[in-house]
Structure formats: C-alpha cells, structure tokens
Structure 1
Amino acid sequence: MGEVAMDDYEVVIIGAGICGLATAVALQKKEIKSVVMERSEALRNITGAAIGIRQNGWRALDQLGVADVLRRTGINIKRERIVGLDGGKQQEMPMNGETRCLRRKDLIDTLYAALPPTSVKFGCELESIKLDPNTTKPVLQFIDGSSITPKVVIGCEGGKSIVANFLNLKPTKMFPLCGVRGLSNYPNGHPFDQEFARFRKDNNLVGRIPMDNNLVYWFCAHPYFPKDDRIWEDPEAIRQSTLALLSDYPQEVKEMIEIADANSLSFTHLRYRAPWDLVRGTFCKGRVTVAGDAMHVMGPFLGQGGSAGLEDAVVLARNLAEKGLDNAEEAFNLYVKERRMRVVRLSLQTYFTGMLLGASSRLKQFMYVVLLSLIFRNSSGHVDYDCGGL
C-alpha cells in the first residue's frame, strides 16, 4: 500500500464510496487528517448509474462544501407523479424541498476532488480487524499481508462490511424484490417534465427522473425470480428481460429502456439491514464504528440510502472534532445515539414500502398500507430532517 507515515494512520476509513469519501471530507473540514483505504485499484466512479438527493441530503452536502458544484449537474425536480397502470389513476403533488438526481460518478468525483491527493489509498483490501489486547487499539490486517494500528477506524464499505461483522451486527436480509437501473440519453432532448414519475402495475414499479435536458435516470423494481446469476452480468440480458417484464407499459417507458446506455445497466437483488436489528445493534466498539450502508443498508424505495450516509459523515465528524481523537470512544457513542433513531425510522419506512410493493396478497398489501399510514402520517416527512452543522 506504499510508504505512509504512522501519524497519517490516526484515522482510517474503510471504503471509498459515497459515505467513506464524505466522511473524509467532513473530517478534513474539522482539521482531522484521515486516510481512506479502498480495495479497488482505482476510484469506483463507473459503477452505479445515479443517485437521488432530497432536501436533507443537500443540507449535508452544503456542510461538506460541495453542494454548489453538484447543483450545476442536475436539474431541480418540482413535483411527483404516481401513475397506476391497473386502473389509470394518477396522483400529483409538489416535491417537498430541493430534489435533484445526480450521476453517481459526479458525486464520487466531486467528493474525491475535495480531498488531498494522498487521502485515498487504492488496492488495500481489508481482511480482518481485531483489538490489540494490550493497547485496545484496532489492528487492521490487509490481504497483502500488511497491517496497521490506527487510533480510529470507520467502516464505510457497504452492506458486506468486515467492520460491521467485527461489531457483530446481524447479517443483512434480502427483499423479495430486485432492482434494475439505467441511464438513457436523448440527443435531441427528452420530452419529460421536471418530475419524479412512477408507473406501477401489479408488483412492478418503474421510476423516472430527468437529470438534465438530455439525460434521464430510471429504475425498475420487481419481484425477484432466481436465475443463473451470470445472466445479470450481461447488460443486454438485463435490457431484454426488463422489456419483456414491462411489455404492456407505455411506449415512452419501453423506449427509455431500449435506448439506455448498456454500460449503465445494472441488476441487484435488494438487501436491507432489518429495522429491529438497528434498534439493538452495536454500532461502535472502542474506537471502531460504522457509517453509511455498513450501518444501515436499506432498499431504494425512499431514495434515502445515500443521503443518510452523507448525514452520518457530518454527524460523525462533528462529534469526533468536539471530543477529540483521544476520546473517540465517547464521540462514537454520541454519534450512534444521535443517528440510531433517525436510521431506524428511515429503514422501517423503507422496509414497509418495499414489502408493500412485493406483497403477494391483498391482505398483506392492506396491512402494510395501514402500518405506513399509522406510523408515518407524513410520508415525505423524512426529507425535512436537518443533520446540523459541522
């Protein structure tokens, strides 16, 4: 992993995804030096199509100092429109607060550019983590045989996090749903309004969000049917399977999938960390903690996974700066206390929404509708959240 002075390893962040980079930027703004260890050989800015950022996420990006750059890359979405293709019913409502859809690449590149060039170390795949029995400091062992003993470790390496396993967090679970995502470019301009449109029929849901005058992000959530996983590595197989599934959808939806950039197409069996596990989970041990998907991976149904990770970064850096690295354990306890119920509520609403979409009977659908209406009277209230200042 190259020669780096030991004091550069005081704070180690595992994973250079959105949350890992955002955490490094937040710490830098509080004058805390960190190193991000990324297992890939280069920045992971070509995977993933796009990410929707609602008002709460923009508040976090403002604190990180990168919001204005990113606002220039995506148009502001003004309303939501839900179309029920079964009965032809439409529902329109104004979008609550600032909402833009960004290329994941733009977000990753902008966060990376806000860091010193040596902040991210590539080709560093974590193999294990343990606590030194004498100093209680975390010891990180990498698959190349190297090891380091930093003061602080923050796991931001997604739903299959080694750091989360060290904290004995319960394994993630699978929704009975999968998600297809893609980007479609209209060279002469697309005909769509500045709206987040959702088309639903049976247990299938298609969402569409324009990103600028030419580019459109879309996703399709539908029941998971086990197949040879290798099929889903082929973009054209993903395209044809999705078109077959949506054969009776409006022509504008089918055309959008037909012209999608093959490199942007992805298929994912959707996973989540159960809300009840988040209530009880141990998110820090000594000077080790987790953030982002490593803490609270959730389905995409509220579009809050990325924004929740941005919030984590701000809150974590604020507490660490306030308490200092020598009191990192206290800082992490405060961070977890502040974040727990926020991510529990987000995860619970996302869970009910996903299970409603995948429900196999009208009785189950009714049950999830009742639960959502009782617990989340304001279905978009989560976007009003403010994670506070750095």
Structure 2
Amino acid sequence: MEDCEVAIIGAGICGLAMGLALHKKGIKSVIMERSESLRNVTGAAIGIRPNGWRALDQLGVAENLRHTAVRLRRERVISLDGGKQKDISLTPWDGETRCLRRKDLIDTLYAALPLGTVKFGRQLESITSGSHSTKHVLRFIDGSSIMAKVVIGCDGGKSIIANFLSLKPTKTFPLCAVRGLTNYPNGHSYNHEFARFTKDNVIVGRIPIDDNLVYWFCLQRRDENVWEDPEVIRQSTLELLSNYPQEIREMIEETEMKSLSVTHMRYRAPWDLLMGTFCKGTVTVAGDAMHIMGPFLGQGGSAGLEDVVVLARTMSQLGLNNGESRSKVMTHGVEEAFNRFVKQRRMRVVRLSLQTYIIGMLWGTSSILKKILYIMLLILLFPYQHSHTDYDCGYL
C-alpha cells in the first residue's frame, strides 16, 4: 500500500491550486484525480473578481492569466420585457474582473506544479480512519489504496470527503444553467462588459473573454431533464430564446459544441455552513466541497482560491514544512492548522453563500411577494452589492 504525507482529492481548479499553494510553502502533496487525464476540455469559463486575482497573485500565476482575457469595465442589465429593449442599470466595476476560459486556468495551474504531482485514474471510493491511527486509508474504485496522514477534499459538490465529515447534503436551486463559448474568427463588436438580458423570467448573460471569444449562459426555471447531447442543448436553448434579439440567437447558433453543458445548480445552505463541521482530525475540505454556491456573484471559484491560500498559510505557520519536525506536527499541528483555517473562513463563506442564496431564490421565483421579500433582504443585508470583491485573503 502506498504511503503519503498529504493527499488532495480532486484535480479541478481548487485541487490544483491547493497543490500549488502547498508546494510554494515547501509541503509535498499528491493530487488524486478520478479522470484519466486533465479535466481541461469540459466546462466553459469562470469569472474572477478582484479578490480572486489577489489569490492568484499569491499563487504566482496571475500575470500569465491576465494575458488570456480582457479586463471587464462594467455590468449592464437589459430588460426585454414588453417587446422593447431597455437598459435598466449600468454599473462601473472597480478593481480587476476578467472572465477566464476554464481550460486556461486549469492548464496554468497544472503547469506550475512539479511533475508527477497529479495521479490520474484514481477515483476515490471510500475513506476510513482507525480509532488509534494517525493515518487515513483511501480506497479507489480500481482496487488500489493509499495511506495518508493528511487528506484535503477538493472533490466538488458531491464530495466523498464532505460525506466523511458528516456535512449535510447539498441542495438545488429552482434554476438550471446552460453554458457555452462562442468564437468569432473575425472578431466581435461587444464592449468589455458583463451584459445580462432578462425576459419572461429567463436570463441570458454575455461576457467577452478576449476580442474573439465570448462566454454566455442562460438561466431558466429548472427542467427535470439534464440534456447531455450538445445539439439537443443548443436547439432547446434556441427554442426557449426564440423571441430574443438576433445577435443573441446567432451567438448560441455558433457556439463551440464541446463547450455546451446544462446543470442544475447546487448549493450548501448558509445555515449549514454556519454550523457544519469542516474538519475532523487531519481531514478537511476546501472549495466547492466545503461551500458550493450558485454562480450569481461569480464568487465560487474565487472563494476556492482564497481557501487554498489561507489553508496553505496556516499549515506553514505551524511548521509543517520543516522537514525533520514534520512527523511530530503531522497530527497535532495539522489539526490546529485546520481548526484555524475553518475559523478564518467560516463567516466569509457564510456571507457569500447567503447573498448567492437570496439572489438565486429571487431569480427562481415567479411570486411577486417573494421577489419583494428577497429584494428587501438584499438591500438590508448587503447594501453594497459588490463589497464581497474587497476581501483580501492575505499573503501566502
């Protein structure tokens, strides 16, 4: 049976960033990834707000990524109800906001890791811990297993590590999202802005990544079907948006088929985050495994990047990178580091999750009374709607 000091489960954005943050602090880790290769094909794009760029700066990859996407200057909301197009808000954005291709972010993080850090084809089946053992046994569906002193779950919203920690199940919003990328070989004419179109309780977002590539999404009431065939996804979306402007329909018609996906959006309830146990001994979770949330603030990815900076820093502060003393601090030191990490992150992710929860319920309801209630809650609890971008996770 293999043996390792720190095992990270999942080689998505959070898992790769976690491995890189630990590497920069002199802590060796292995990343166990269920797929047979890097997951840089599926998924479309991810918005990174100023707080996320602060974290990427600490990881040392921000400058390369800045060259892959234009800086967004504002947010615009366009109402199409009543058969007319009307700009109803125009919000200039302070700080750095860009929309990155998920592939660019994944590839950049992976390239910054030491060779061999990621072990592919290792889908976790279970984790067990002996009552008197300082190690955890990780068993994979291929029959292999390893023993790890420290386990960090970055395995998404359906996390096996979260289940091990007895976290309550995630829930689904009354919305589903279609996402895609559209390439304009001769360039597009869209401004560097996040444009959101609303009509009949359907929301279409459009965000340029660069002068040729555009990311778009469509939020609608949840359909019990989750289509997997890209052509079915495209045609059903076009039917839904039959009375939208022609430029929107053309954008969807010309979508890169491999980028198309439809998902029911999940979240961990804010009250569960307030009370949940996010570490047990030398096991913890980060990113979506800890606090999966709706995309309505564009903070899911950035919050996960904040997690890895804070967690790697707290582990380093307790001397876990001090070679010879590592065996002495691997249990007590890690437990203290994980407790500090959870204490630092809990209220931050509770506030983010609460704001996204209210927005998701607002967008997902057809009740006028509920809409008024949710709007009042947002005004009362979050008077400055973009204050979440001011957060600084600190130095690595």
TM-score range, shorter chain: over 0.9
1:365 counterpart residue number: 371
Is residue 2:244 matched to residue 1:249?
yes
Q: Deviations over 1:216-269 (max 9, x none)?
A: 000011101223x4xx11111111111111111111111111111111100001
In 1, distance between residues paired with 2:319 and 2:175? 43
Matches within 5 A, 1:111-260: 111-227=109-225, 229=226, 232-260=227-255
Residue matched to 1:354: 360
Deviation for aligned residue 1:130 = 1.6
Structure 2 residue 280 is matched with structure 1 residue 285: yes
The 1:65/1:297 distance shift into structure 2, 3 A limit, reads same
Greater Cα offset, 57-66 or 135-144: 135-144
Give the 5 Å matches for 1:53-72: 53-72=48-67
Distance between the aligned counterparts of 1:353 and 1:37, measured in 2? 34
The superposition leaves residues 4-40 of structure 1 with CA deviations (integer Å, 9 ceiling, x where unpaired) of 6x3xx10100000000000000001101000000011
The aligned amino acid for 1:161 is S
1:73 paired residue number: 68
Aligned length: 382
Partner of 2:39: 44
Tell me the equivalent position of 1:321.
Answer: 316
Query: Does the 8 Å CA contact 2:76/2:87 hold for their aligned counterparts?
Result: no
Aligned equivalents of 1:323, 1:85: Cα separation in 2: 55
Q: What one-letter code is carried by the residue in structure 1 that aligns with 2:362?
A: L
* Corresponding residue number in structure 1 for 2:383: 377
Q: Secondary structure at the match of 2:317?
A: helix
Q: Secondary structure at the match of 2:180?
A: strand
Please list the CA deviations of residues 39-95 of structure 1 after superposition, one character each: whole Å capped at 9, or x if unmatched: 111010101001110100000000000000000000000111111212634211111
1:137 positional shift: 2.4
Paired residue secondary structure (1:295): helix
Counterpart of 1:255 in structure 2: which amino acid? E
Per the alignment, in what secondary structure is the counterpart of residue 97 of structure 1? coil
Distance 2:63 2:155 in 1: 27
Do the aligned residues in 2 keep the contact of 1:356 with 1:368 (CA within 8 Å)?
yes
Distance in 1, matches of 2:79 and 2:67, equals 33
- TM-superposed CA distance for 1:96, in Å, is 2.4
Provide the C-alpha distance between the structure 1 equivalents of 2:146 and 2:319, rounded to a whole number of angstroms. 21
Q: Which residue of 1 aligns with 2:77?
A: 82
The residue number in structure 1 matching 2:323 is: none
* Paired letter, 2:122: C
Residue of structure 2 in register with 1:339 after alignment:
345
TM-superposed CA distance for 1:149, in Å, is 1.9
Q: Secondary structure at the match of 1:333?
A: helix
Which runs of 4 or more aligned residues in structure 1 lie more than 4 Å from their structure 2 counterparts after TM superposition?
Answer: none
Aligned residue for 2:166, secondary structure, equals: coil
User: Quick check: 1:183–1:264 contact (8 Å CA) kept in 2?
Assistant: yes
- 2:344 counterpart letter in structure 1: E
Q: Unaligned stretches of 5+ in structure 1?
A: none
**Is residue 375 of structure 2 the alignment partner of residue 388 of structure 1?**
no
1:295 partnered with 2:290: yes
Provide the rounded CA distance (Å) in 2 between the counterparts of 1:330 and 1:292.
20
Partner of 1:261: 256
Q: Deviations over 1:326-380 (max 9, x none)?
A: 2000000000000001111111100111110011210011110001110001001
Question: 1:203 deviation in Å?
Answer: 1.6
| Contact 1:96-1:380 at 8 Å conserved across structures | no
Contact 2:238-2:249 at 8 Å conserved across structures:
yes
Matched to 1:304, the amino acid is Q
For normalisation by structure 2, the TM-score amounts to 0.95
User: Within 2, Cα distance between the matches of 1:134 and 1:147?
Assistant: 19
CA contact (8 A) 2:134 2:149 kept: no
AA matched with 1:217: Y
Instruction: Give the Cα–Cα distance (whole angstroms) in 1 for the partners of residues 185 and 255 of structure 2.
Output: 12
Say which SS state the counterpart of residue 368 (structure 1) adopts. Answer: helix
Deviation at 1:323, TM superposition (A): 1.3
**AA in 1 matched with 2:111:** A
How far off is 1:144 after superposition? 2.2
Q: CA RMSD in A?
A: 1.1
Q: Paired residue for 1:312?
A: 307
Alpha-carbon distance between aligned partners in 1 of 2:358 and 2:143, rounded to the nearest angstrom: 43
Superposed CA deviations along residues 271-295 of structure 1, whole A, max 9, x for unmatched, are 1111110000000000000000000
Q: Which moved more, 1:321-330 or 1:364-373?
A: 321-330
Q: Which runs of 5+ in 2 are unaligned?
A: 321-328
3-state secondary structure, aligned to 2:81: coil
Q: Quick one: percent identity of the two aligned structures?
A: 69
Mapped pair 1:17 → 2:12: yes
